[in-house]
Every structure is written in structure tokens, then in C-alpha cells.
Structure 1
Amino acid sequence: MSISKEEVVHIAQLARIELSLAEIKKFQHQLSLIIDYVNKLKEVDVKQILPWSTVLELNVFREDKVEQYAKYQELLNQAPKQKNGHFKVKAVLK
């Protein structure tokens, strides 16, 4: 399956990047190869394979526990700005 130049331009616009004509052609070829490879993977019969398997019977997950950091107040006192017991930082989003 081949990806069109228009699709490459659309993807670039979504990513907010500008591409030269040479880059569009290059990415058109590369993205087409990727799509072809993914389509080949779709043909692989995986019915007999478990969704997740490993040779080791090791559980690396642990239960999440919320704990109060013992030196929180000490860290807060060193912060340049604080408000109502929290670190005050510049806004990242408007």
C-alpha cells in the first residue's frame, strides 16, 4: 500500500512541521514501507499465542500505596515559592 503525498503533507501539518518537496518524497517512501510491514504483521497467525507471556514466572507489579513523604515540609521550606502548603510554580498551560 502506498501513501500519497497529500497524506504525508497532512501528517506533517498535524505534527506542525514543515517539509520540503524532497522530504515529502522521502517520508512518502518510508511511511509506505512501514505500512507494508504492518500489513504483513497483520497476516501472522497468533491464535495460539497468549496475549502476554514470558519464560520467567516473575511478577514485577506491586500494589500502589500512597504514602506521605517524610521530609515533605523540609523540601517545601526550600522552595522559592509556596502557597497553602504546596509548591508554587509558573503556569505551563494557559
Structure 2
Amino acid sequence: MNDIDTEKNIELNSLSSGEQNQIIMLYNLIFLTSKNSVLLVDEPEISLHIAWQKEVLNNLERIMKVNGIPQAVIATHSPTVINGNWDRSLDLYELNKSRNK
């Protein structure tokens, strides 16, 4: 991996656990998913800096477009991951509450 600001190589084992998890997840999505799959992602924000959380949906959408993945379901507790896309989200607590009325 290359640090753009300093142009020096960064060893993978020196990355945070959140950065390592993102690299593994994105690599798997890029190279190991099949066209027309449904993407299921559970809490992609775990151990991620807030700036990286803001990019999660953009990264996933780009990979989905390139790989022909039509749909994703993402479970998150982070409003930062949702990044203003509330119209594309479901609050399961509120959904369950309304069903039990």
C-alpha cells in the first residue's frame, strides 16, 4: 500500500484493524463476487475512522456497478455509513415496533 502524501510504502500489518478489514472486504468483493449476486454486508464500519465510514457506500456501489451486482443489504449502526441516504434505509427497530401495534 502506498501513502499518497508521503509516497512511502506502508506495510499491511501496520494498518489498523479497520483498514485491514476494509482491504480484505473490498478485495473479496472485487475479485470473488459473481454477477447478479445479492451483496450482504454486516457492520462494515467496525473499527473504521469516521472519514472511512463516509466512503463505505460509495466504495460498495462502485464495485457493485463494475461487477454487475444489482442489490445489497447492509446492516449498520452508523449514521455516518448511511451518509444522508435515509430514503434508502430501513430502521428495523421502528419497523418491528409498527408491526407489533
Is the pair's TM-score, using the shorter chain for normalization, greater than 0.5? no
How does the TM-score come out when normalised to structure 1?
0.24
Please report the TM-score for the alignment, with normalisation by the length of structure 2. 0.23
**Higher relative contact order (CA closer than 8 Å, sequence separation 6+):** 2
Higher helix share: 2
